[in-house]
Amino acid sequence: MGKKTIILLSLALILAAAGYLYSGQIAIGRNYDYSDILVTRAVDGDTLKLENGERVRLIGIDTPEMHESSKLDRDAQRSGQDVAAIKQLGRQSYEFTKKLVEGKRVRLEFDVERFDKYKRILAYVYLSDGTFVNAEIVKQGYASLMTYPPNVKYADSFLKLYQEARQNQRGLWGQ
């Protein structure tokens, strides 16, 4: 091994021992306790912002878009729905998620992959009272399913909740 390699490995070990490395990324500040962290805001129906500035993408669910984007255009084309109608549904999903989690402390549970391609944390989220946020959004009819292997830990449970919400016309399905 060369001198540079030894120095880099030594630095990595020091940072890891100090709690500054996770999933190959250097954390800003300190290593956060994801078993008790504050949600500062709901970004949309399936994305949250934490007190440490990180964003969390809720695993296994997908809510309608509420802002102009290429995904909104694709969803409109795929579903045949009007863009304005999809945005309105997205706003309803956002409002539900906001009321459920904003300003509350949560616990994150991880699956196989820790980050998505946008560097958001991928997680299952639980409120301090035990409410499983991802599942509750589906159960109340404010999300569809979005499963990306290998993150499939609760896919079967989410499917049952989704089917029940649609059958009972809850949330977005009652419109």
Q: Are residues 125 and 96 in the same domain?
A: yes
Is 57 designated active site? yes
Q: Which domain holds residue 52?
A: 32-174
Q: Are residues 68 and 93 in the same domain?
A: yes
**Amino acid 32: pLDDT:** 82
Asked if residue 125 lies in contact with residue 97, where contact means CB atoms within 8 angstroms, the answer is no
Q: What's this model's pTM, rounded to 2 decimal places?
A: 0.82
What is the residue-level pLDDT of the chain in tens, covering all 175 positions? 666 545 444 544 444 444 444 443 334 445 789 999 999 999 999 999 999 999 999 999 999 999 999 989 998 999 899 999 999 999 999 999 999 999 999 999 999 999 999 999 999 999 999 999 999 999 999 999 999 999 999 999 999 999 999 999 999 999 7
Q: Are residues 24 and 57 in the same domain?
A: no
Is 91 designated active site? no
Q: How many domains does the chain fold into?
A: 2
CATH code, domain carrying 106: 2.40.50.90
Please list, in sequence order, all residues whose beta carbon lies within 8 angstroms of the beta carbon of residue 118, skipping any fewer than 6 positions away.
55, 57
**Amino acid 175: pLDDT:** 75
Q: Are residues 110 and 129 in the same domain?
A: yes
Residue of 107, 114, 120, 166 marked active site: 120
Is 105 designated active site? no
Question: From its phi and psi, is residue 5 left (phi > 0), alpha (psi between -120 and 50) or beta?
Answer: alpha
